[in-house]
Chains A and B, each alone.
Chain A
Amino acid sequence: MTIELNARSTATDTVLEVDNLSVSFPTEDGLVKAVRGVSYTLRRGETLGIVGESGSGKSVTSLALMGLLPGSAKITGSARFRGEELLGKNDREMSKIRGKHLAMIFQDPLTSLNPVYPIGKQIAEAVLVHHDVSKRAAWERAVDLLKVVGIPFPEQRVNNYPHEMSGGMRQRVVIAIAMANNPEVMIADEPTTALDVTVQAQVLEALEAARTEIGAALVLITHDLGVIAGHADRVCVMYAGKLVESGTVDDIFYRPRMPYALGLLGSLPRVDEGRDARLTPIVGTPPSLLNLPPGCPFRPRCPLAQDICDEVEPDLVTVDAGGQHTAACHFSTQLVDTQATDVFAVTSVDVDTEEVAVADTDLVADTDLVADTDLIADTRPVADTRLAADTSEDAS
């Protein structure tokens, strides 16, 4: 490699610090609050998974800190890259950072590549923008990068146009472009969603290879919990524009403390489980982010919901001794050692009303646990709230 790459700063361990980031979009119907106070930190070399359903604000969060949102978006809060504030920078200033320090990989490789230039030129362009090197050197770097992401015969493939490559290959080219300048942070927004499983495995392998090669930290945004389980160190779960739970990957998968995360795991069919395991869906749909009512946004779909959930939106609080695992639920103490089937019912109905079926209300009736949290000390007697004991839908 003939390109001198800038020496990595070792000054700080935290590369990216997002603090109370909020994004809203004015529309004809009112203000859509797409992201509401998201905070997280990304340490050097780690992979942070952000998981959530469509419309939960996963992508908007990342677009905001890359400065890629339309001008009408209202962004508040702060996002610091190695201590340097990113929000409020103008486009010229952002251009110096984008690609060089922060790189992004989008979902659809066909729209993120230019159809009229060969891929080698597009990779070389990314190098030339930030480095004063010869075109030949940049072109050679392009070949090297294609090799890293596992494209066979890179010397020939570098001359290909995007339409001559398959979806998985194109996505690997996009990864090559993202790593071209050895960025400290790569943000991959649903990098494998449009791909078949065998190709997804190849692309994730390429992403992992790219990350190890340049030692970058990775923000992996996806709705696929399986991808998160295999590739992330820490996980943030988003719902209705907020972080509702965050922790290490083991915390989230084995000790979820927010009903939404628990419900997601329970609703997932698994290849290592047979037909006898039934799924526990989360009934209802995510709320509209336009005129979001007060209280917990998950409340209408939550089997544990009480009066307090209608009134007070729970903050993200620490739920373990180490301080790594946080959850936003008034009743997170009740979820210690519970399975999805303890909280959610095996049901096949879909309701858009307030009725939510509860599998086993013992959990709610366990007053010892409830007494632990003074927050709910004055809610109505818990045993009365057998919400769905008589909803006949279970029987369908």
Chain B
Amino acid sequence: MTIDTSKPAATGTVISARNLVKHFPVRSRGILRRRIGEVHAVCDVSFDIGATETLGLVGESGCGKSTTARLLLNLIRPTSGEIHYAGKDLAQLSRSQMRPLRRDLQIVFQDPFASLDPRMTVFEIIAEPLRIHGLFSGGGAAKVRELMSTVGLNSEHGNRYPHEFSGGQRQRIGIARALALRPKVLVLDEPVSALDVSIQAGVINLLEDLQHELGLSYLFVSHDLSVVRHIAHRVAVMYLGRIVETATVEDLFTKASHPYTQALISAIPLPDPRKERVRQRILLTGDVPSPVSPPSGCRFRTRCPKFAEQLSGPERELCINEVPALTDRGQGHRSACHYAEAVKLV
């Protein structure tokens, strides 16, 4: 089987997010539950996903990746911002207006144990979206069986329950359910993080094949940069609610220019002892600041090795006072660092 997955087949934008912002209220304890602050989960995030294109969204836990994914599907309402799909702004639509569009926009969740109803058979789980959208009558059962074989499951196992399947097979059930309505955009929220490596590889291959065959657009949310390098065409790196760098997958991994991206790439252990022995590591100090009161200016400056070691006093002023815009600073891709500088790390 040789599918050429290397060429990005992007033709036109399918779905795009513009200046998405999501603040969650922090409430006081007690009866009144006054609003005492806000978690700045997602701040001014914009991106486009083309047809048959995978956008990888990476970052550490708590950086707002999953919130962004849910905002894109209008599963949670953005505080402000727009989501453009099929000429409509999803953020303005009511639930009933949203429903016909949900056929095109589907999601696969991280945990294959929690996202399947343990009391439904696999057949019923995959048939449910078809029933909800009134597409089951007239060959629904055949559709379900076809979906099962599409995702590499034995179609005779439809009357089994989720607990009878392994983690990898369960994740395939989740993918079959998401594909049931022939969506155009699939949001994959850490779809392989809960799986062992030997099983994870099969699911990654499946996702690549499905994209090729069905012409899907993926938003692939993951904390694992190796998986993202493998599956994505373009990558957006998030830190504390903001996209700090976005580029094609080749550019991002070979000439990362934001200090955070550089630290992230250099922290990934390589399964190659010789390379590991000679590798330079950029170690970050400290932890991610609280999103309730993010640092002023550049949000990464409190952990930035460049800020701490290379920049002079007046240069630091800029990082402290001004939020760096996500623009091309001469590296051919967009980076939100005042002092962006491309570095080859792997």
Contacts and interface: CB of A to CB of B under 8 A. Distances in A.
Interface of A: 53-54, 152, 166, 168-169, 196-202, 205, 223-230, 249-250, 253-254, 263-283, 285, 345-353, 393-396
A199 to B, nearest CB: 7
Contacts of A274: 6, 229, 249-250
Contacts of A223: 196-197
B324 interface: no
B309 interface: no
A393 B269 contact: no
Nearest to B272: A229
A350 B165 CA distance: 11
B346 A197 contact: no
B340 to A, nearest CB: 19
B291 interface: no
B283 interface: yes
Interface residues of B, number: 64
15 contacts: A198-B264, A226-B268, A230-B273, A265-B271, A267-B198, A269-B230, A270-B230, A273-B230, A274-B229, A275-B232, A276-B4, A279-B230, A348-B205, A350-B202, A396-B149
Interface stretch (B79-87, B112-120, B220-228, B326-334): B220-228
Nearest to B269: A226
Contact of A350 (B152, B197, B253, B276): B152
Interface in B184-216: 196-206, 208-209
4 smallest beta-carbon distances between A and B, as pairs: A226-B269, A267-B201, A281-B201, A281-B202
Contacts of B277: 230
Contacts of B227: 269
A218 to B, nearest CB: 16
Contacts of A168: 287
Contacts of B286: 152
B110 to A, nearest CB: 14
B265 interface: yes
B6 A276 contact: yes
A168 B288 CA distance: 11
B59 to A, nearest CB: 9
Looking at A169, A253, A279, A347, the one whose CB has the most chain B CB atoms below 10 A away is A279
Interface stretch (B25-33, B40-48, B166-174): B166-174
B220 to A, nearest CB: 12
Nearest to B303: A198
A274 B254 CA distance: 10
Contacts of B197: 53, 223, 225, 264, 267-268
B273 A224 contact: no
A223 B198 CA distance: 11
Interface of B: 1, 4-6, 60-61, 149-150, 152-154, 166, 168-169, 172, 196-206, 208-209, 223-227, 229-233, 249-250, 253, 263-277, 279, 281, 283-287, 346
A154 to B, nearest CB: 14
A54 B168 CA distance: 13
B167 to A, nearest CB: 8
B201 A350 contact: no
A373 to B, nearest CB: 26
Contact of B267 (A201, A229, A278, A352): A201
Given A272-B346, A279-B230, A346-B1, A198 B6 contact: no
A305 B226 CA distance: 31
A347 B199 CA distance: 11
Nearest to B229: A271
Given A197-B223, A348-B202, A230 B196 contact: no
A244 B39 CA distance: 49
Contact of B205 (A276, A281, A351): A281
B267 A198 contact: yes
Looking at B230, B231, B232, B253, the one whose CB has the most chain A CB atoms below 10 A away is B230
Contact of B284 (A198, A230, A353, A394): A198
A230 B269 contact: yes
A285 B199 CA distance: 8
Nearest to B152: A349
Contact of B275 (A224, A272, A279, A394): A272
B230 A277 contact: yes
Contact of B229 (A230, A265, A269): A269
A270 B1 contact: no
B1 A196 contact: no
Given A198-B60, A226-B270, A279-B202, 14 more contacts: A152-B286, A202-B284, A224-B269, A225-B197, A230-B276, A253-B273, A254-B273, A268-B271, A269-B230, A271-B225, A271-B268, A275-B5, A275-B6, A349-B206
Contacts of A269: 201, 204, 224, 226-227, 229-231
A198 B260 CA distance: 10
Looking at B150, B253, B267, the one whose CB has the most chain A CB atoms below 10 A away is B267
A364 to B, nearest CB: 20
A368 B60 CA distance: 51
A271 to B, nearest CB: 5
A198 B263 contact: yes
Contacts of A205: 281, 283
A270 to B, nearest CB: 6
A307 to B, nearest CB: 24
Contacts of B271: 225-226, 228-229, 253, 265, 268, 270
Contacts of A227: 269
A393 B226 CA distance: 26
Contacts of A279: 201-202, 204-205, 230
A271 B225 CA distance: 7
B160 to A, nearest CB: 11
B272 to A, nearest CB: 6
A197 B273 contact: no
A250 B273 CA distance: 7
Nearest to A230: B276
B285 A152 contact: yes
B269 to A, nearest CB: 3
Contacts of A277: 230
A200 B267 contact: yes
B196 A199 contact: no
Contacts of A169: 287
Contact of B206 (A225, A271, A272, A348): A348
A277 B3 CA distance: 11
A312 B233 CA distance: 47
A275 B209 contact: no
B217 to A, nearest CB: 16
